[in-house]
Amino acid sequence: MDTCEQLILHLAGGLQPVKRLRSPVVRALLWLGVVGFLGTALVLAFHRVPALMERARDPKFALELVGTLATGILAVVAAFELSLPDRSLKWVLLPAPSLALWLCSSGYSCWRHLIASDPGQIDPAETTLCLAWIVGFGVPLAISLFLVLRRSHPIDPVPAAVMAGLGVASIAAFLLQFFHPYDVTFIDLGLHLAAVAIVIILARAAAYPALD
């Protein structure tokens, strides 16, 4: 008897029923629902909604908010899709349009800020805090997302991990807007992007140990 036949007999011999995974979109929405609930509680607890609503009257800032949140949601959905064996790598493109919207609207806000204000107003401590916020919120969110994603045992964990990293970093950046007292400057934007990159790199590094 050859080894493949022995292996088949072994695998089929002790076969147990398994619970089929739910649709990736449903799983993504469940995770996002829990995070959304906790995020809402945090924002309400610190009474940050009125200040944000005031700033969101500016359509360009509103676009930035939509771009950030949509990137977070779509990247998380893409991560769940990519955690399954038969999904196309093209899923990595899902958050691309919203990411472009986020970057373009933030870039435009930076440009306006650069013209309208003098650079002396920028507080380096405040901008560094933004980086710490995104990484500080992004990492625990990534851990919780990885715990859910690892149920799929992704056969190629890297794309799923990178999308998970982008998703949680974008959600952290969205939450940051509630506590960010002014429009982003180029330094802010650079630090926000650096923080997002750090979270993605950490998620990429954790791909095999955590998801394989």
Residue ranges in contact with another protein by CB under 8 A:
2-5, 7-9, 11-13, 15-21, 23, 84-86, 152-153, 155-156
Q: Which is nearer to another protein, 60 or 153 (CB)?
A: 153
Region at 20 (left for phi over 0; alpha for psi -120 to 50; beta for the rest): beta
Residue 181: CB minimum distance to another protein, A: 45
Half-sphere CA count of 141, side-chain side, radius 13 A = 32
Q: Which is nearer to another protein, 123 or 212 (CB)?
A: 212
Please state the closest distance from residue 151 (CB atom) to another protein, in A: 8
CA distances from 207 to 80, 149, 160 (A): 14, 11, 8
Task: List the structure tokens of 67.
Answer: 């771009």
**Nearer Cβ to another protein (90/112):** 90
The token pair at 21 is: 């995974």
CB of 98 to another protein, least distance (A): 26
How far apart are the C-alpha atoms of 190 and 187, rounded to whole Å?
Answer: 5
18 vs 116, beta carbon nearer another protein: 18
Shortest distance, position 92 Cβ to another protein, whole Å: 15
Distance (Å, rounded) from C-alpha 196 to C-alpha 210? Answer: 19
